[in-house]
Amino acid sequence: MGTFWILVSLIIFVCILLILVVMVQNPKGGGLSSTFGGGQQQIGGVKSTTDFLDKSTWTLAGIILILILISNVTLMNDSENSDSILIDESIPEQTIPEIPEQTIPEIPSDIDQ
């Protein structure tokens, strides 16, 4: 398995993690912290849970960006080293039949008009 395919599988794995992290968050700011009783009365863990989810979202997005750039470089390097299958196969040359030149008959000038 080439380096490119390993990077593609890592990108897919990180994308699934990113989807899970985003789905846990609440779009209005409550998120996982509101599930545990939310509100400002909580001291300690709940606020840090929201911060952790926010930081992990940005971290996973950055990891995806870096993996995509690295996979692009490896894809370009792999494509320069290997030839296409079509180039390797011997394709019989097709010859174009030659069309004989057609001469235009000359019109005699002594024809009455």
Token digits of residue 24? 């846990």
Q: What is the pLDDT of residue 53?
A: 86
Give 48: exposed, middle or buried? Use CB within 10 Å, 0-12, 13-18, 19+.
exposed
Q: What is the pLDDT of residue 98?
A: 78
In a domain, 63, yes or no: yes
- Number of domains within the chain: 1
Q: What is the pLDDT of residue 41?
A: 47
Q: What is the pLDDT of residue 104?
A: 74
**Structural domain for 11, as ranges:** 3-32+48-79
In a domain, 105, yes or no: no
55-98 pLDDT tens trace: 999 999 999 999 999 988 887 776 555 555 555 555 566 677 77
6-41 pLDDT tens trace: 999 999 999 999 999 988 887 665 555 555 555 554
Higher pLDDT, 96 or 52: 52
In a domain, 99, yes or no: no
**For range 88-113, the mean pLDDT:** 69
Nearest to 46 by CA among 55, 33, 35: 33
pTM, two decimal places: 0.53
In a domain, 109, yes or no: no
In a domain, 107, yes or no: no
